[in-house]
Amino acid sequence: MTDSAWLRLVGLTKRFGGVSAVDDLDLEHRAGGVLGLIGPNGAGKTTVFNMLSGAILPTSGRIELDGHDVTGLRPDQMNGRGVSRTFQNLEIFGSLSVIDNVLVARERYVRGGALGAMLGLPSGRRAAREQEAFARELLARNGLVGLADEPAASLPYGLQRRVEVARALASQPRLLLLDEPLAGLSRAESTSFATLMDQVTDEGVTVLLVEHDVTTVMSVSDRVVVLDHGSLLADGPPDAVAADPRVRAAYLGEELDA
């Protein structure tokens, strides 16, 4: 069981030229589970993700993880602090096998045994076996049993999405950022993906979910935050947020209808 991450954003701001993509955002989340982040197009959701993962620097403000200021850390440094992410546009290594996609994310766990593996030393072979066993177990938990040795590019799109999530989980994160994980999935695949998120949070991982499928976000999230033009519009339990007149106005009253 993983200890859930404590995330705190203080006055987080990102400007591109004269446009504020994220404007003085304050947010604290320390309850684990799924935190849904929604908003109309251009609301600043992906910009928040990119700042949290270290892909871009804030213009001002602070990002704290477990009480430590991590503002400005590189993506690899954020990963070392327990933050992992997926991307809106699928990013897997299609020419590699499914299991090799996962093992790529285990590199920092095997550095001590990497030289031994290259030299064929017993310690290196043992480390390689341990990592492969870990990866195969992770794939099984993500509904990819029996597919470990298949080329990732040969899988249907929905399973490729699962490979990407498995790779993100391979670094054993405490905070998992999922950017549009349901994009391109069928309704059945989306339902299956929601079950997978339940399993992830049951293991203690905090999930921050950005997703256009508002119905799914409301059904799987423990808390929902709504951004509009880079600012906080609403924050609370899914039912309360869905009933908020400001949220309905931002979505023209359509996406949140039952």
Task: Give tens-digit pLDDT for 149-199.
Answer: 999 999 988 888 889 888 989 888 999 999 888 877 788 877 877 788 888
Is 231 contained in some domain? Answer: no
Burial bucket for residue 128 (CB in 10 Å: 0-12, 13-18, 19+): middle
Give yes or no for residue 204 having a pLDDT over 90: no
Q: 119 falls in which pLDDT band (50, 70, 90)?
A: very low
Is 100 contained in some domain? Answer: yes
Give the mean pLDDT of 97-124. 66
Distance separating alpha carbons of residues 70 and 53, to the nearest angstrom: 10
Is 30 contained in some domain? Answer: no
Distance separating alpha carbons of residues 82 and 163, to the nearest angstrom: 19
Are 200 and 207 in contact by the 8 Å Cβ rule? The answer is yes
Is 177 contained in some domain? Answer: no
Distance separating alpha carbons of residues 25 and 38, to the nearest angstrom: 14
> Which pLDDT does position 190 carry in this prediction?
79
161 or 1: which carries more pLDDT confidence? 161
> Which pLDDT does position 116 carry in this prediction?
46
> Which pLDDT does position 50 carry in this prediction?
93
Give the residue numbers spanning the domain of 135.
Answer: 95-171
The pair phi, psi for residue 32, each rounded to 5°, is 70, -155
Is 167 contained in some domain? Answer: yes
Question: What is the number of structural domains in the chain?
Answer: 1
Give the mean pLDDT of 142-149. 88
Is 198 contained in some domain? Answer: no
Is 162 contained in some domain? Answer: yes
Q: Spell out the SS3 assignment of 85-104.
A: ECCCCCCCCCCCEHHHHHHH
Q: How many CB atoms lie within 10 A of CB 160?
A: 20
Which residue in 178, 172, 177 sits closest to 190, CA to CA? 178
What Cα–Cα distance (Å) separates residue 231 from each residue in 23, 106, 245? 5, 36, 16
What Cα–Cα distance (Å) separates residue 212 from each residue in 46, 137, 159, 234? 12, 31, 20, 16
List the single range of 14-23, 84-93, 114-123, 171-180 with lowest mean pLDDT. 114-123
> DSSP class of residue 72?
T
Query: What is the pTM for the complete model shown?
Result: 0.84
Most confident of 36-40, 143-147, 211-215: 36-40
Q: What percent of the chain has pLDDT over 70?
A: 88
H or E element, residue 160? helix 157-170
Is 214 contained in some domain? Answer: no
Going by C-beta distance under 8 Å and a sequence separation of 6 or more, which residues neighbour residue 119? none
What Cα–Cα distance (Å) separates residue 84 from each residue in 75, 105, 169, 218, 228? 9, 10, 7, 23, 25
> DSSP class of residue 18?
T
> Which pLDDT does position 22 carry in this prediction?
96
> Which pLDDT does position 110 carry in this prediction?
60
The DSSP annotation for 187-248 comes to HHHHHHHHHHHHHHHHTT-EEEEE-S-HHHHHHH-SEEEEEETTEEEEEE-HHHHHH-HHHH
